Structure 1
Amino acid sequence: MEHPIEFPTYEEHIKDLFTQADKGCMRFALDLSTYDGVMEKANQILSRVKAGTMPPPDENRRWSAEQVETFENWVKNGFQRVRAYLVRPSNKQVVRKDLLNLTGEEIALLQKAFQGLRDRDSDISDKFSFFNLAGIHWYPGPRRYIHCRHHDNEYNPWHRAYLIVFENALRSIEGCETVTLPYWDILGDELPNWVFEEPFFPYSYPHDLLDFTGDEVAIDAGTPIQRFSAAIIKQNIFARLSPVPSSISTALAAPTWERFNGWSGSTSLHNAIIEAHDNGHGACGPTISRPSTAAFDPHFWFFHCNWDRLWWKWQTEHRATSIALFKSKLEEADGWLDNKPSNILKPFNVRSLDMIDSASWNVGYEAPSRGERTDDRTFVMASGRALGAEAFKISSLETVSVRVKNINRLKIIGSFAIDLNVNGETIRSTRIFQPDEASECDTCQKKGIFSKDFLVQRDELPPGAEIRVRIRRFLIDGREEEIPLSEAGNPNINVRFLLDQE
């Protein structure tokens, strides 16, 4: 074994530093044969091996400086017994690049790293195989292993941690120690051909995916993932009804965290970055459009790297990069940022407050190849009501908010779309990214009832217009079906002027 090891564990690296002779010689003073014994006396051991007084008595048995450094790293990193999901990267800055800017060598290294993770899939017990890392997002079940966060404050911090875990796993492949996840600029040019080649596509599940209960097979081993072509993905992102470009621009212009994130805190409106995220998932294909299977599409990792980039971009531009600065951008309570056990982001054993500062994890981003693009359709959502004691003005007579109110998503199985139809034509549409088991999902239950504001030009609502809402849910095979509104809590429709406080 070559030392030093940057992130050693007891089982893989530390216990073998002690020979049987060491354990026997020190048995009356130190227990070197067990994890607990070594951990309890770790600082004493470190002091003695640094001084060269241990192991006695033969100098040839002394540790090298590199072995001492490995042991010191183990102490500094918290006495890891087995490989932890999340460890801090080295002091070297990681710069994630636009995947369109990767060199041929960088693409080859990324291919090698992804293939290395896929090669581990044969061992179902290896938690750092591609299959098991992807399974953190939802499937393969059962419920006690499901930790993914969406539509709440923890959505961005949880996925930031998830990306670091996956990136570290890529670097654990021999020869790939310097590999870095690239991001897919969703508003950029068409995806390059290599994203649709091995080992990024195709991919078939090497093992059965169990359902939420853990008792039934939801998807059989050998089933291939499904992804749209590059042309269709781009078409979906920039389609007339797509809210992705405008939602991103609205989010980046938002002055506060809640308005950037959308659907966080006490807010039950679907907008801003979470709306762009949900619709982006749906634009890429059937597999990635479902939380249960999304991370099994290798493109998921490039896709989500971009959402983390956009969050960090917003943080940087709005001076919210440290925990203190970030809290200054909150409109609501900051309890989710407390240092308490209930705020742990499972299974990563960190809290949201630990993930606010991307730079503390030595992760940064290169600008996209196209430069930063904004969308002309940027809206700052004003209030539709005001207190009687407040002065207010109508922000525009040309734009109104059509609110679809009190949608009960817990009654809807899987991801779905809300369409706003006027005189039989769909004029607005948005997607909600959620599991089949929304009614059993702890995070979903927090915001089971929500509303959606569609901003509409007055001339799109002629006098006597028939306004109708349609809800379509997406099936596991990629098909869709319309469901009665009674199955979604019978939401109602309000048309409102937008108000600005004076």
Structure 2
Amino acid sequence: MTTTNTTKEVDQVVATPTYLADIRFFFRPQDVEHMAEWGIELGTYDGAKENALSIYALTAPPSATMPPDEEGKWSAERSQTFRNWILTGFPLGTATPIEPLPNGALPTRLRKDVTTLSDAEFDRLKAAFAGLMERDPADPKSYFALAGQHGLPKRWCLHHQDRYNPWHRQYLLDFEDALRSVPGCEDVTIPYWDFATDLPDRLQHPPLDQYVLPIDPGAAATPPPVTSFFPYTTSRFPVDDIAQNMKTYEVLADTATSLAQLLWGAFNVNGYQDFSIQAHDSGHGSIGPTMGNQNVAAFDPVFWFYHCNLDRLWLSWQTRVGGTTLAGFRTTLGQNTEWLTPPFNKMVGTSVTTDQTIESKVSYDRLDLPSPVEGAMENLSGSIDAARTFAFRSDSPVSVRVKGIDRLNIPGSFIVSLLADGEPVAKRYFFQPDDPRSCETCVQYGIVNLDFRLTQERLLDRALTVRIDVPGRSEEIGTSFPLSRAGNPTINARLLVGEA
């Protein structure tokens, strides 16, 4: 075990160090910032690995030139540990989870499971929602105006990219502040719906069951006005159907996989981002026609409780990997860190930047923190550096990636099904507006992939095919969408491997 350079305790040599357990703590925030000015990334695994030989040469005592200050100089023991990391092939390792702080230890807001609220707390929550819904839609703190930021008419939301989680975390805070502006509701916080359980009865009664749009949300939308959502009342599937949909789209499986990732990764690639965004999309599609349509999803009151749970899960993952601070979070990234720095850290609709959202301003009454025995962390992929020791295992999952889907040609959210001998063995829901070409983010990320993780037994010796369906468009385009119009996507199947 080594200590950080912010203490004067003596370092100990680690014979078989790993990046997540040891090496990432060798670089202070000021070291990372200083070297970033020279185009050298020290705060991530990829950066430390790529620059490892130079780092070792410049920090090795007794003639080290970096860090420049005496306090930051590395000890001989730390230098040897870093050398051992190089010699053993730069192993990633496993993060040591950080124990959550006791409730009230920091000046944060506490969000609770909606089913655990006292009657008085729940009454204030309903009063806050009703208060927002009664406000003039032109009021920027009205329910209509706030929900309209996500879809019509503002279209500010950011999906399928690194800024997705930061944007929605700030969006929840802004909405929570508006709830607190209702007289008598100054201490209200948004509770979460743990969608591992059925939709609670509390969310199935006014004012939390539905919302009637007071004006046309598409009238002022640009590009061209959208007129298909007025008059409009939000709607959901029956509770049992929602639960079945969550199973069909494997929302909980993707959630569990996301929480087990060692690295942040990227959507369409790997890591926490890929699987958490897939779970997000499929959860939207599971809940109902409104939640399944990006244009109007946030008008359904369940949106806020659903997304509050997603934020809780993100904070759970941050806690597991030691990423609750900006410096700690950066260590879970690959080479792409620019979205945390100006000017790329800006988020539409708010002056808050991505890096300012990493240290959460709220706490939760419960985080999902399974023990290492219950939920081991992983970094499985289809390829691995030849310098590292790797293993195939009999229970290693197969990754089937439907690659290169041109989402811009598909009119609305869609379902991708993996069929074995003509029968669906897995489905995923992709969340987007009816006209993705009118969405700036959609256009920027127009080509997407969808990942399926399956056991080998579910696929071996079976004929596999793929189908794309667009819910609610059967009269216009038939029951399935032609793959030729979706960019002729390809299939990438691989057995996943990890460090031995």
Same fold (TM over 0.5): yes
The corresponding residue for 2:234 is 225
Q: Which amino acid is 2:121 matched to?
A: E
Provide the secondary structure at the position in 2 that maps to 1:209. Answer: coil
Counterpart check, 1:323 vs 2:326: yes
Where does structure 1 lack aligned partners over 5 or more consecutive residues?
A: 1-90
| Cα deviation, residue 106, structure 1 | 0.9
In the alignment, what sits opposite 2:267? 263
Q: Structure 2: which 5+ residue stretches go unaligned?
A: 1-105
Hey, what does 1:332 align to over in structure 2?
A: 335
Q: Contact 1:278–1:431 (CA<8 Å) still a contact in 2?
A: yes
Counterpart AA for 1:485: L
- Residue type of the partner of 1:429? K
Shift of 1:388: 6.5
C-alpha displacement of 1:233: 1.6
Counterpart AA for 1:410: L
In the TM superposition, what are the counterparts of 1:59-138 in structure 2 within 5 Å?
92-120=107-135, 123-138=136-151
Structure 1 residue 364, shift from structure 2 partner: 0.7
2:250 match: 243
User: Within 2, Cα distance between the matches of 1:450 and 1:442?
Assistant: 15
- Indicate the SS of the match to 2:157: coil
Q: Corresponding residue for 1:418? A: 416
Quote the residue 1:194 is aligned against. Answer: 202
The alignment partner of 1:482 has SS state of coil
Q: Partners in 2 of 1:225 and 1:476 — Cα distance?
A: 18
| Secondary structure at 2:125 match in 1 | helix
Corresponding position of 2:184: 175
| In 2: Cα distance, 1:456 partner to 1:404 partner | 14
Q: Which letter maps to 1:197? A: H
From 252, 259, 263, the counterpart of 2:259: 252
The 1:442–1:185 alpha-carbon spacing in structure 2 relative to 1, beyond 3 Å, is same
Say which SS state the counterpart of residue 159 (structure 1) adopts: helix
Question: C-alpha deviations, 1:283-341, integer Å up to 9, x for none?
Answer: 11010111111100011000000011111111122211111111111122211101x24
Give the Cα separation in 2 of the matches to 1:134 and 1:447.
23
> Displacement of 1:146 after TM fit?
2.3
Residues 179 and 385 of structure 1: CA distance in aligned 2, closer, same or farther (over 3 Å): closer
* Shift in alpha-carbon separation, 1:332–1:433, aligned structure 2, 3 A: same
- Cα deviation for residue 216 of structure 1 reads 3.1
Cα deviations across residues 92-145 of structure 1 (Å, max 9, x unaligned)?
53100000101111111011110000110xx232111000100000102xxxx3
Q: Deviations over 1:5-53 (max 9, x none)?
A: xxxxxxxxxxxxxxxxxxxxxxxxxxxxxxxxxxxxxxxxxxxxxxxxx
Instruction: Give the structure 1 partner of residue 90 of structure 2.
Output: none
- Determine helix, strand or coil for the equivalent of 1:169: helix
Q: 1:499 aligns with which of 492, 497, 500?
A: 497
Measured after TM superposition, the shift of residue 195 of structure 1 is: 0.9
Of residues 345, 348, 351, the one that matches 1:346 is 348
- 204-213 or 429-438, which moves further after superposition? 204-213
Instruction: List aligned pairs for 1:260-299, cutoff 5 A.
Output: 262-263=266-267, 271-299=274-302
Aligned equivalent of 2:308: 305
- Report deviation, 1:373: 11
Return 323-332 or 401-410, whichever deviates more: 401-410
User: Is contact 2:261–2:379 with CA below 8 Å preserved after alignment?
Assistant: no
Shift of 1:223: 1.6
Matching of residue 469 in structure 1 with residue 477 in structure 2: no
| Structure 2 CA distance for aligned equivalents of residues 233 and 373 of structure 1 | 29
1:367 paired residue number: 366
TM superposition outliers: structure 1 runs of 4+ over 4 Å: 266-270, 370-381, 386-392, 476-480
Change (3 A) 1:494 1:311: closer
Shift of residue 394, structure 1, vs aligned partner: 2.7
SS state at 1:310 partner:
helix
Q: How does 1:9-48 map to 2 (within 5 A)?
A: none
Q: CA deviation at 1:498?
A: 2.3
Residue identity in the other structure for 1:130? Y
One-letter amino acid of the structure 2 residue matched with residue 317 of structure 1: R
Does the 8 A contact of 1:407 with 1:489 survive in 2?
yes
Q: 1:386 to 1:356 in 2, by over 3 A?
A: closer
- Would the alpha carbon gap of residues 382 and 107 (structure 1) be closer, same or farther in structure 2, given more than 3 Å must change? same
Q: Secondary structure at the match of 1:218?
A: coil
Q: Is the 8 A contact 1:268 1:447 kept in 2?
A: no
Contact 2:251 2:282 in 1 (8 A): yes
SS in 2 for 1:496: strand
Helix, strand or coil: the match of 1:245? Answer: helix
Q: Which has the larger radius of gyration?
A: 1
The residue number in structure 1 matching 2:68 is none
Contact 2:391 2:497 in 1 (8 A): yes
Distance 1:150 1:374, change over 3 A: farther
Hey, what's the Cα distance between the residues in 2 that align with 1:172 and 1:137? 20
Identical positions, percent: 39
Letter in 1 for 2:466: V
Cα gap change, 1:104/1:477 in structure 2, threshold over 3 Å: closer, same or farther? farther
Contact 1:472/1:483, CA 8 A, preserved across alignment: yes
Write the deviation string for residues 218-248 of structure 1: whole angstroms up to 9, x where unpaired.
23543211112222222222x2x33211111
The answer to whether the 8 Å contact 1:160/1:355 transfers is: yes
CA contact (8 A) 2:278 2:430 kept: yes
TM-score (norm 1): 0.72
Q: Matched residues in 2 for 1:173 and 1:390: separation?
A: 58
User: AA paired with 1:474?
Assistant: P
Residue correspondences, number: 393
Q: Kindly provide the amino acid, as one letter, of the partner of residue 148 in structure 2.
A: G
| Residue in structure 2 matched with residue 404 of structure 1 by the alignment | 402
Task: Work out whether residues 417 and 430 of structure 1, in 8 Å CA contact, stay in contact via their aligned partners in 2.
Answer: yes
Residue of structure 2 aligned with 1:458, choices 456, 459, 463: 456
Q: Is contact 1:269-1:452 (8 Å) kept?
A: no
Q: TM-score, normalized by length of structure 2?
A: 0.72
SS in 1 for 2:210: coil
Give the 3-state SS of the residue equivalent to 2:199 in structure 1.
Answer: coil
Q: Which amino acid aligns with 2:129?
A: F
